[in-house]
Amino acid sequence: MWKRLVFSIALLGFGVSGALADTASPWVDKKPVRYRLLVAEVQGQAYAALQMQLKPGWHTYWRYPGASGIAPDFNFTESQNLRAGAAIFPAPFFFDDGVGGFYGYEGETGIVFPLSQKGAATLKLQAFMGVCREVCIPLDIELTLALPETRANQGEAQKVVADILAAQAKAPHTQLKIARASFDGVSLQLVVVGEDLQSPYVMSVPGPHDILGSPRTAARHPAAHLIEIPAWSKLDHPLIGRKLTFLVRDGAKAIEQEVEIKDHRLLPRVHPNTD
């Protein structure tokens, strides 16, 4: 299980030190999870972070939770003198629960939000998340943090925020990407290419009219894997010609990519080494 942790335990302290007095709320312990709110600047951009520690065996969810998860919801509307941007999630993992599976996190994790602040401000986060094991516990979060106009001594908070940002899925690159995506009338056919591929897993984000099944590896090569995903969409919303979002994880590497779906019947045969 521990190989799936987004952060190491050494990175995340179990209390608020004096150095975090202006940049972190106290820990809130609601078994089986505890959490706090952090603020720090990374490369000149201010971020808020919801930092979470889940008890062993418990999990929470990515922005798209999958077939059997609970989508999280975040609200900063009661904040003063600042605006929060869209949530930035670490790349998730797939968990097979026997009823379709879900995308999410266990152990220690966090979610960050870019901030735009004007002078002294009050940051207030209201969130709803599912925290689950055999059963799910709805988690209502309310955290408030008073922010001075300028912040000092944010070293630990800055490292936490920076590591959450580093854990997000990257743009496609030569080491891992989807070279093409097509539909044959029954399944999506994704060609995942990269360097020294081990066991890439595809997590798909369907449109509101789509039903996508569990992926399976139909063919493998160190430089390319063929992934098939059973797929169906309503008659007025054909898959061919549309763009779908996929997250591909291969060990520690993870990318998020939007890909246009081609007609599989019209594609030429491709050698596994072709990008």
Binned at pLDDT 50, 70 and 90, residue 11 comes out as very low
Distance CA 152, CA 176 (A): 39
Task: Name the pairing type of β-strands 262-263 and 176-183.
Answer: parallel
* Amino acid 271: pLDDT: 53
The second-level CATH assignment, the architecture, of 176-266 is Sandwich (2.60)
Question: Where do the CATH 2.60.40.10 domains begin and end in the chain?
Answer: 176-266
Q: Give the residue from 153, 155, 168, 210 showing the smallest Cα distance to 187.
A: 210
pLDDT band at 237 (very low <50, low <70, confident <90, very high): confident
Q: What is the pLDDT of residues 103-135, one digit of tens each?
A: 999 999 999 999 999 999 999 999 999 999 988
Please return the burial class of 162, using the count of CB atoms within 10 Å of its CB with bins 0-12, 13-18 and 19+. Answer: middle
Give pLDDT, residue 268.
77
pLDDT at residue 8 in the model: 33
In the predicted model, is pLDDT for residue 173 greater than 70?
yes
Q: What is the mean pLDDT of the chain?
A: 88
Ranges in the chain annotated CATH 2.60.40.1250: 2-166
The answer to whether residue 28 scores a pLDDT higher than 60 is yes
Q: What percent of the chain has pLDDT over 70?
A: 88
Cα 80 from Cα 230, distance rounded (Å): 47
Least confident range of 12-16, 34-38, 110-114, 165-169: 12-16
Region 2-166: CATH code:
2.60.40.1250
pLDDT score at 2: 37
At residue 23, does pLDDT exceed 90? no
Amino acid (one-letter) located at 227: I
Please choose, from the candidates 202, 188, 163, the residue with its C-alpha nearest in 3D space to the C-alpha of residue 47.
163
